[in-house]
Structure 1
């Protein structure tokens, strides 16, 4: 049944209202980053700045080694996303298109992993990183050194795989007909060959979906980098912003400028991947 014009108009207005409510805080943040401190502290609130000070961004970035912090975040996020895409896509493909003993039980274990809060696994993860054998001066038993603490490997290890990514890929690959596997066999392709030459070209949407989720979660992560790093040169932008907020708590223009720059990469990513992201959510189907 088609929706009546009045109902469609009401739905459009509601969606527009929700969009305005969501956008307003970001607009306030951006315009505040361009104001003087005197204007922010003034009695009367004005959305638009009287003097547009784009120099606030340069001044905020000069306050610390932000180039290093952004590099740490970009590097760890990039590695975590790439490695997780490989692991999750292969695991999801195996659960969806292959038959092997214990498949259902293993997938059930993966689903159980989705139910465990991240805070529960942080301490075991830290212990595993601290006593990782033959790393950071550790011996074969994981003793005598620092392991993977203060290393990029230690920062990205908890993010390189995840039950949610396996679940997404499994649901996506289950939507393909079995005749696709039969055609791949007729062409002489192995299981891995079929994955690379047949399924990967058809999976742009689900890859974009996981890229958005994984990039957002890794880039915005605060607690794990705080636990696994003890040196300033290993800080991510979220750790740096926390310290910056304490040092410049009264200078809201600098704080909002730093926050805007940290948020900008995620915004750009979503703009470019919005089409595939929406398509991936729809085609995943949450069925089967």
Structure 2
């Protein structure tokens, strides 16, 4: 019964990906046939070459990779440090702040998109703006405008807090006896032990930032600043949609996520499980 369930979910999850690969190898004539074509008569691997030639994909991948890596690096440090503070440091108003943090997780990101855009456009002393945030374009069409909104995250803080709650108090007491400050205790003891939770959080953050479409779409207005997800819309025009090239480019852009997950799969599972338990 277990194997049947595994087979069922494998088919359900894998079939859309199989269709995507199949379409990427078809001609436009095969795609528009009335019946579904699962196996193209002559696989058109040239579609991948044409897709990569349709635009400056080297630049698009660089933009996505640069923004994603910066976001992951900074957010992991900030989220883990904030989670450590909520879990190990007792201060006045800690519970209230954590409740507000949980409330922030319930707000859809679409609700905050317009205020975030106004903040980025009115960022003081950036993009020609004066001290009051007027007169220029702010952080629009810049890497900073793509990075800053994704650095902080309520879920990352929550996951790290749950992970650090599982540590015994003896660790903090021993570090305090040895003369370690709070920051040294975090960086020298807790941070090195946080590999599972940081790996799982890093995968989630990497995937979310890499696949982000709406925010880069409204924040960039030049071809040199486009990310991969925004560039995928180039295969659509007023006449038709080049489905085979679109699927080919989508597969290439998705390989980064697949490779990352395969390499860090054991850490991802361990991090999720460790963050869900408290001793």
Which residue does 1:114 correspond to in 2?
Answer: 105
**Does the aligned pair in 1 maintain the 2:70–2:147 contact within 8 Å?**
yes
Structure 2 match to 1:124 = 115
> Paired residue for 2:21, among 26, 30, 50?
30
Q: CA deviation at 1:219?
A: 1.1
Q: Which residue of 2 is the match for residue 207 of structure 1?
A: 198
In structure 2, do the counterparts of structure 1 residues 248 and 30 end up closer, same or farther at CA, with 3 Å as the change threshold? farther
Q: Over residues 185-213 of structure 1, what are the superposed CA-to-partner deviations in whole Å (9 max), with x where a residue is unaligned?
A: 23332211111121122111100111111
Q: Say whether 1:262 aligns with 2:253.
A: yes
Counterpart in 1 of 2:219?
Answer: 228
Quote the Cα distance in structure 2 between the aligned partners of 1:112 and 1:95: 16
- Give the Cα separation in 2 of the matches to 1:140 and 1:217: 33
Distance of 1:246 and 1:91 partners within structure 2: 46
In structure 2, the residue matched to 1:160 is: 151
Please, which runs of 5 or more residues in structure 1 have no aligned partner?
1-9
State the SS of the aligned residue for 2:264. helix
1:53 aligned partner: 44
Q: Which runs of 5+ in 2 are unaligned?
A: none
Say yes or no: does 1:239 pair with 2:230. Answer: yes
Matched-pair contact (CA < 8 Å) for 1:249–1:255: no
Structure 2 CA distance, aligned partners of 1:120 and 1:39?
Answer: 41
Structure 1 residues 249, 183: CA separation in 2 closer, same or farther (over 3 Å shift)? farther
Verify the 8 A CA contact 2:68 2:210 in the aligned structure 1.
Answer: yes
Q: Deviations over 1:156-177 (max 9, x none)?
A: 1110001111101000000111
Instruction: List per-residue Cα deviations over 1:114-169 (Å, max 9, x = no partner).
Output: 01110111111111111111100111111111110110101111100011111010
Shift of 1:42: 4.2
For the Cα contact (< 8 Å) 1:155–1:228, is it kept in 2? yes
- Could you tell me the TM-score, scaled by structure 1's length? 0.91
CA RMSD of aligned residues (A): 1.8
The DSSP-based 3-state class of the residue aligned with 1:149 is coil
Contact 2:235/2:242 (<8 A) preserved: no
Decide whether the 8 Å contact of 2:166 with 2:277 is kept in 1.
no
- With the length of structure 2 as denominator, give the TM-score of the two structures: 0.94
Supply the distance in 1 between the matched residues of 2:24 and 2:239 (Cα, whole angstroms). Answer: 13
Alpha-carbon offset, residue 43 of structure 1:
5.2
